[in-house]
Chain A
């Protein structure tokens, strides 16, 4: 049972506040923000208590989504609800930001009204909600000349572009009805990679958490069939086909997915509702089908003058056609580090010393598969001793691998039935993020 729901910006502005049971006063919002700001660090615990009121919050899109509740309610339910509510807001407003919430507050109040009654969750299905929600979303996207890039002379669409613009999936779902938005469907395969590589270069841990997300902008799509790799196998024992097997340890599906053809042909069938939903989640532990994407060869030295020399060679073991983007390596350095001088192999890279987080951050905007980059960092450290070397490392990498899945999962085909009248577009996107990629020194 949820007593109140409110949304706060990171600066504490009240964006949305709704009281469902009239049990607590509205100054709880202030109380919550005081509690958040009084804590050191920007990561307050999920559950906070004030007298007999419990605040449960999640952070999404830089905002606090808070519910107040009693202590016997289920944390899983409340957290899942807040996440789901944030996802609904994202579906309806197109994106999730302070501005989007601010512009669409009427829509959000309307959503809240339908989703919760007297503090009880009624429904969060966008199929049901679309019958009730009347307010039009105010789209944030400013007019931009880039949007016109694939519009030819006199506004005629000259070519079917092969790549969807990145903003394509950040529009409100409802615009497809009245504003004549395109009838599109996006299927995203998103994987999160967490890897620990030991100081001897041995792979200590490798986990992949993946999901297939469908974002549907089609008002009347009765069935969608998603075909996965035929060799896709679940669990250790099962092996299919003769090709390179794509294996995951565990796999779970959205309850709306029908699996009649899954065992024989690896086809998922579902009737997508508008908005975004996670169709399938899977995990793979301890075994990657290919080498981990990055290897690091570090050399650390202490020279006589209290300087720390770090020579880092970073190799990208992706196939040569792929590339990693937004690679950033964080190298923790000793406490007394004062200044940094650097030698990087190309001008688009950058590195800086961040005394606040006691780390050197090396940024590489684009890193092609099969290549190798090196960097030499010289750090001025006051009071450098042999023990300070303990503080160097482990190195953490964060990156994004577009058009790449760590498990090798691919989508063979995407079929809609009945065949959509008019132009409809189907997009499949793959991306692997680094959840935590740690290399010990």
Chain B
């Protein structure tokens, strides 16, 4: 901070420094020097005192010497000539019998950062490398790195490099670590210090002697080493196992980083290492230092990308503390979203609900969007909370809720009824442009279900003149045209007004161009407009569950233990959906012929069939979209996906079973008589570990559509699927199924089980006997009842799952 009496201070200090009376009195001299440094650190420019300070350097008082060195190192660059005067004192000090004085002189000599002084420094540095005292050697080793840093172009002295390599065997661990650091800097051009086998083993053996900083550094350098054999790799890993669970987070993180780089070819070991650090990482999350807490949380997010189920049981650790800063709360909520499962969803939502009314708007917004994310798997509970929040009528909360609903509906179209009914009246509380854009998008896309949509839109159109945000205007245009397509009578007039205003009066180019585009599009006719604007209202690539696939560790291993994960928005679980969802997840080549939901599977199925053509099915016309399974035991059974089944329909049919179970006496509705429920057990324990993509692909090969998954490794693991099965020319029956893996041995339902599938029941029995093997419980619903079909389907499913098991082995 520049300081008023600047000149005066410097003048006064100079007088004091050159006062012989003060110079005689050691204490007063030191105090004057102290005042100089104080002014310096307050930002006063005291460089004018350089020559006086050089004189003050020649003293026996070590404290004063240190102070003067602080001064000299700061101002040497400004006064290179005068600095030459210091060098003599420094060189003399390098001969001092006191090792502390020697190391001090040597350190500051190299800290002056003056290229002109290099020739004077080299000799003391060489001597320093062989000094008796470790503290001098430490300084000398780094001194060479400083010299090189000062003159990066100068030639590298091979003698020095050799000497540094030999000092790796120095008895002092800090000297050893400093040698690594110095060599790394000096040999940067050649790729840094060479870590060969003898050096690696030497470093590993001495790891225990180092303090935690040294350990971290050594572990970092070891990442460069590639073991020559598997045995060597495992020897190294077992040596490092203790530091993997070190109570010091820096050591733990550095060790894990080394593990991940050493085991990049052995994923199973990396995953085991991740499991092992769970304890220490969780401990770091509860650390007293909130910065450490934050770092640990950010790294936990990385780990969860590869093992989503890693911390499911510890979700309570991530509940937010009341006094925690917003940045920690936000990360904790992001972690909580990843940890949700059937058992804890209630607790989690209760907790998140409490954060939604937080004083800090950012925290509130994060909480609301976290609820929205959970809503993808547990839509009813979440929508109930979200609609409740709308009742608060607070602008930032309403805005966040509407945005969240928009994002949710894009992924889960089955929520649309609840969302549509709750939107009424929101426009009055919404203030910010993001929220209004979200509302407009919803009004446009679901306009036919919201009775008040035209009136709300009219309100917006009437005020368009005073609207500032171009984003809102563009969204308004789209919404108005969309609404016009489904409710022309009510909207025509206002659309006309809006287009007129935007084309004639609007100043913003983008808005005007968009209005012109829509105008011309409407001129082409309604069908054309419909094709462009009513393409889709949901993201076709996602099922009902979130099912974020487990990434391989290699995806993030490089950024582990760097600042990368701590940066804002570094571990964004989703692209920040600020605009309309279509804009975010926009498919570059939209296929307008795609029907609304879940239809993308068609084309993929077609493709995979083509690839499958070598099996002899190639003769079949691809558009029949069916594959005959060679493995089918009964008469030719064909599975097909058309007509598609929407998730809502699936849910409705599936839930009939619960209704049935609730009232065991009643035989259910008439249509129920025609369907059959079956429970089976298929033994293939590794399937829950395979990625949703491969499962989806495998199922699609045989025309089974998986509607929803839980993430891999999560417990309980579930998949919902459906298909249409047809045997010969018989009636087509709709098959709905659930695969459930709880981790426990599977138990068949009471009496409902029909032991038709001999292999499966045998497996079930075997598992009952030794209690070791675990199976996947399959629940199927067949409508209409057809035993042969059922058997056929089960065998197809078993084959698929077994194939997957073999692959994942």
Contact = CB atoms under 8 A, between A and B. Distances in A.
A117 B107 contact: yes
Given A41-B326, A106-B34, A46 B391 contact: no
A106 B63 contact: yes
A71 B562 contact: yes
Nearest to B295: A75
Interface string A52-94: 0010111100000000010111111101111100000000000
B360 A41 contact: yes
B100 A46 contact: no
Contacts of B362: 41
Contact of B347 (A58, A106, A204): A204
B105 to A, nearest CB: 13
A154 B174 CA distance: 52
Interface stretch (A8-16, A268-276, A338-346): A8-16
A45 B139 CA distance: 35
Contacts of A80: 212, 248-250, 292
A120 B178 contact: yes
Given A43-B325, A43-B326, A390-B357, A77 B216 contact: yes
A134 B101 CA distance: 12
B211 A123 contact: yes
- Give the bracket for the number of chain A residues in contact with chain B: 35 or more
A283 interface: yes
Contacts of A13: 1, 42
B295 A357 contact: no
Residue with the greatest number of chain B CB neighbours at <10 A, chosen from A14, A75, A196, A204: A75
Contacts of B389: 390
Interface string B364-390: 000000000000000000000000110
A164 interface: no
Contacts of A73: 562-563
A110 B391 CA distance: 60
A330 interface: yes
Contacts of B217: 120
B350 A281 contact: no
B100 A131 contact: yes
B566 A75 contact: yes
Contacts of B320: 436
A15 B43 CA distance: 9
B554 to A, nearest CB: 17
A19 B100 CA distance: 22
A285 interface: yes
Contact of A196 (B62, B298, B351, B563): B351
Contact of B174 (A49, A123, A194, A394): A123
A120 B294 contact: no
A159 interface: no
Contacts of A281: 247, 283
A88 to B, nearest CB: 13
A170 B542 CA distance: 59
Interface in A330-386: 330, 332, 335, 357-359, 385-386
A124 interface: yes
A81 B286 contact: no
A132 B327 contact: no
A58 B566 CA distance: 14
Given A13-B1, A22-B113, A105-B37, A72 B288 contact: no
Contacts of B257: 74
A118 B567 contact: no
Contact of A436 (B38, B107, B146, B321): B321
B41 interface: yes
Contacts of B316: 196, 204-205, 207, 285-286
A49 B567 contact: yes
Contacts of B34: 106
Given A46-B566, A80-B248, A113-B66, A125 B38 contact: no
Interface centre among B211, B324, B347 (most CB of A within 10 A): B211
Interface string A236-262: 000000000000001011110000000
Contacts of B317: 207, 285
Residue picked from A118, A205, A286, A394, most chain B C-beta under 10 Å: A118
A74 B391 contact: no
B599 interface: no
A165 interface: no
A71 B142 contact: no
A75 B360 CA distance: 26
A253 B247 contact: yes
Contacts, number: 213
A209 B288 contact: yes
Contacts of B211: 123-125
B600 interface: no
Contacts of A385: 391, 393
Tell me the interface secondary structure of chain A in the complex: mixed
B295 A390 contact: no
Nearest to A56: B563
Contacts of B296: 76
Interface in B35-76: 37-38, 41-43, 62-63, 66-67, 70, 74
A121 B100 CA distance: 18
B254 interface: yes
Nearest to B254: A74
A440 B354 contact: yes
A118 B111 CA distance: 8
A437 B319 CA distance: 11
A122 B289 contact: no
B504 interface: no
A43 B286 contact: no
A192 interface: yes
Nearest to B330: A45
B394 interface: yes
A347 B732 CA distance: 81
B796 interface: no
Contact of A124 (B213, B254, B347, B360): B213
Contacts of A436: 319-324
Interface string B290-321: 01101110100000000000000010110111
B557 to A, nearest CB: 13
Given A47-B567, A74-B254, A74-B561, A358 B359 contact: yes
A288 B43 CA distance: 53
A17 interface: yes
Contacts of B94: none
Contacts of B74: 19
A278 to B, nearest CB: 9
A310 B122 CA distance: 77
Contacts of B565: 75
Contacts of A204: 316, 347
Given A43-B325, A75-B295, A81 B563 contact: no
A94 B62 CA distance: 23
A385 B654 CA distance: 39
B61 to A, nearest CB: 9
Nearest to B360: A41
Interface string A106-131: 10011001000110111111000001
Interface of A: 12-17, 19, 21-22, 41, 43, 45-47, 49, 54, 56-59, 69, 71-77, 79-83, 105-106, 109-110, 113, 117-118, 120-125, 131-132, 134-135, 192, 194, 196, 198, 204-205, 207, 209, 211, 250, 252-255, 281, 283, 285-286, 330, 332, 335, 357-359, 385-388, 390-391, 393-394, 396, 398, 435-438, 440
Given A15-B41, A285-B316, A438-B322, 12 more contacts: A13-B1, A22-B113, A75-B566, A81-B213, A109-B70, A120-B178, A134-B62, A252-B283, A436-B319, A436-B321, A436-B322, A436-B324
Smallest CB-CB A-B distances: 9 pairs: A436-B321, A387-B391, A252-B247, A43-B325, A396-B322, A121-B213, A76-B250, A77-B250, A47-B566
21 contacts: A21-B149, A43-B326, A47-B566, A57-B291, A58-B289, A58-B291, A79-B289, A109-B66, A134-B63, A192-B288, A194-B319, A209-B288, A252-B247, A281-B283, A332-B359, A359-B359, A385-B393, A387-B391, A387-B392, A394-B354, A396-B322
